[in-house]
């Protein structure tokens, strides 16, 4: 009999509680809107971060290209025939340009034969 008394008290407590009906469809829509909003904010922040990274890499590339042009200009100046002759004289090297009969010209490179064409 003691068991019946406990169950009857539980039933009475349930009857005293007030339940507010909340539409499940509305709850699902609200959760979906919240998830979509957070996803949109994450996507926007990720795009902004990638945009900043792209700009920094483009600036780095522009600086490297500028250095490349400067080094190519410097190298072409150093390797000009007049400057080479001056450097040879300055370092007192007994060098001279070879005669035409001693110059060997190498043609294009063939990938199939792996040999230089004459």
Residue 11 has pLDDT above 80, yes or no: no
Measure the CA–CA gap between 47 and 37, rounded to whole angstroms: 15
Contacts of 95 (CB under 8 A, 6+ apart): 88
Averaged over 69-84, what is the pLDDT?
94
Q: pLDDT tens, 13-49?
A: 566 666 777 788 999 999 999 999 999 999 999 999 9
Q: Give me the pLDDT at residue 73, please.
A: 96
């Amino acid at each position: 009999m003691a068991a019946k008394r406990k169950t009857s008290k539980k039933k009475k407590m349930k009857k005293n509680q007030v339940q507010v009906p909340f539409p499940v469809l509305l709850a699902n829509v609200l959760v979906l809107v919240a998830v979509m909003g957070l996803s949109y904010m994450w996507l926007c922040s990720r795009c902004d971060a990638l945009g900043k990274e792209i700009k920094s890499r483009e600036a780095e590339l522009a600086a490297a290209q500028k250095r490349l042009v400067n080094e190519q200009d410097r190298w072409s100046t150093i390797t000009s025939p007049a400057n080479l002759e001056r450097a040879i004289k300055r370092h007192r090297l007994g060098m001279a340009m070879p005669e035409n009969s001693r110059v060997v010209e190498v043609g294009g490179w063939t990938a199939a034969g792996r040999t230089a064409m004459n």
